[in-house]
Structure formats: C-alpha cells, structure tokens
Amino acid sequence: MELTTTTAIVTGGASGIGAASARALAAEGATVVVADLNAELGEALAAEIGGVFMGLDVTDTDQITTVVEETAKIAPLRALVNSAGIANAIRTIGRDGLLDSAFPLDKFAKVVQVNLIGTFDMIRQAATVMSRNEPDENGGRGAIVNMASVAAFDGQIGQAAYSASKGGIVGLTLPLARDLSGAGIRVNTIAPGLIDTPIYNHFPDPEAFKAQLGAGVLFPKRLGRPDELASMVVELITNDYMNAETIRVDAGIRLPPK
C-alpha cells in the first residue's frame, strides 16, 4: 500500500513504539495523526514529522469518532496503528488470606478497557471510515496494526490483566481480518518482546527492572529499540500480502514466570 497521499492514525503516538511508528510512517510519506493523551509530547512529535496532534483517550468513544472523522478530512485514512497501552503488575491474591488483598477489579477492568476495548473501538470506527475510501489497484482500502505483547502467550506472575488484554487482541486479529476483508482492509498484530520505552517508568526502579528482563533475551541480548518495532509496523501496513497474522518481534525471548 502506498502512503504518500494518505493519513495514518497512531494511537499512543506520543511515546515509545507509537512515536517510532509515527516517525517511520511519516518517512514513508503519510500525514500522521499522533493521537494520544499526552498533548505536550504529542504536539512536539507532530511538529517534528509534519503531522497533526489530536488529543485522544481511547476509552472515550466520542473522542475516537472525532479523531477518525477529522483525520479523513485531511486526506483518506488508510492506516491505523493501535499502540496506546498501559500495564500493571498485581498478583491475583494477597499473602494474608484477606479478600481485600485480592487483585482490585477496577484495576483489572482499566487495563482491559484501554488495551482491548480501546483497540477494538478504534478499529470499528476507523475501519468504517476506511470503507468509504476508493480501492487501490489491489482493491485495498486500508491496513491496521495492533500492538499486543509476548505476554499474550507467556504472561508472568502479576500479569493477569495485561495478558488477558493482549491475548484478547491476538484473538481479535483473525475474526477482524475476516470481517473487514470484504471492505479490502487488512489487520495484523505485533507481539513485542521487551522494548526500551517509558512504559517501564511506572514500575519501581525501572533501570533495574529492565536489566533483569533483558537478561532473559535470547539474541541479541538487550532490550529492543522502538525503531526495530516501527520497521515491522511499516512492513505490515505496506505489504499487501500480510493479513490476519500475529508476529512476535522479541529477539527470541520466552518470558519465565517472573
């Protein structure tokens, strides 16, 4: 798929993998809409890449409507990257036998709301707008890439909510690709391994945590760089024969229990 006359929405585009994807799609010629909660970083990135920042909380369905409709007014919307995501690490039960110490249900729901339901709401609305596009020479009207995680397959202790949300994205990929095939829209998912981004800043002592995680990587023995994920995003958006697939980009890591 050719991107030079199109818009591309990147949710979570202000930081980490989303920001690297926004830069890479802009380098391919797309007008990128950086859609994120973080206006300060998002506006700076949009200015850097000649794109547009739009404030977005992916749990707000009306905000999604505004973003997809406003984007399509700039140029046909043909690409969506769902990179907005949050993580937490909470064990399912406490050590003291008290029900109050069990995983707080609102924290479980929040992760599912942002990562899974937010991703699906973006897809159902963006794909509706894409379905109005003129088909290209292959009959294509758009391409979508989601960010799951290797935790969808080998979630660690404390990752019940995160793994459930990301496993849900993996599960959505084939039925969505089937649903959208008639409209000429492809759907693929990436399962990143351990990528060095600000997502780990919410954990206590992020540098020690990342060093511990990186020790389990097969080869190369380090955390991944966001641009190493962005190159896969570009491939999945532009390669017309990629559809309905989930690809691990993880240097061979298989996460241990902890």
Tell which one of 38, 66, 128, 231 touches ligand NAI (CB under 6 A).
38
Nearer to ligand NAI, 186 or 210 (CB): 210
Residue 157: Cβ within 10 Å count: 12
Catalytic annotation, pick one of 52, 83, 160, 162:
162
Helices (H), 182-221: 206-214
**Residues 199-228 contacting ligand NAI, CB under 6 A:** 199
Stretch that binds ligand NAI, among 66-74, 78-86, 125-133, 236-244 (CB under 6 A): 78-86
Tell me the pairing of strands 185-192 and 142-147.
parallel
The two structure tokens encoding residue 212 = 């511990």
Contact status: 17 vs ligand NAI (CB under 6 A) = yes
Question: Is the distance from CB of 59 to CB of 113 less than 8 angstroms?
Answer: yes
Interface region with ligand NAI, contact rule CB under 6 A, candidates 55-63, 64-72, 125-133, 231-239: 55-63
- One residue of 43, 59, 209, 249 binding ligand NAI per CB under 6 A: 59
Contact range with ligand NAI by CB under 6 A, out of 36-44, 67-75, 102-110, 230-238: 36-44
Q: Does 111 bind ligand NAI (CB under 6 A)?
A: no
- Position among 7, 71, 83, 125 found at the interface with ligand NAI (CB under 6 A): 83
C-alpha 204/C-alpha 121 separation (Å) is 32
Rule CB under 6 A: choose which of 1, 9, 14, 233 binds ligand NAI: 14
Q: What is the C-alpha to C-alpha distance for residues 135 and 230, in angstroms, rounded to an integer?
A: 25
Q: For 87, what's the count of Cα atoms within 13 Å in the CB-facing half-sphere? A: 22
3-state secondary structure of 146: strand
Closest of 110, 129, 8 to residue 59, by C-alpha: 110
Q: From CA 103, how far away is CA 106, in angstroms rounded?
A: 9
200 is catalytic: no
According to DSSP, residue 126 is labeled H
Q: Indicate which single residue of 79, 147, 177, 255 sits in contact with ligand NAI (rule: CB under 6 A).
A: 147
Catalytic positions, written as ranges: 162
- Kindly list the residues in this chain that would bind ligand NAI in the complex (CB under 6 A): 11-12, 14-18, 36-38, 56-59, 83-87, 114, 118, 147, 149, 192, 194-195, 197-199
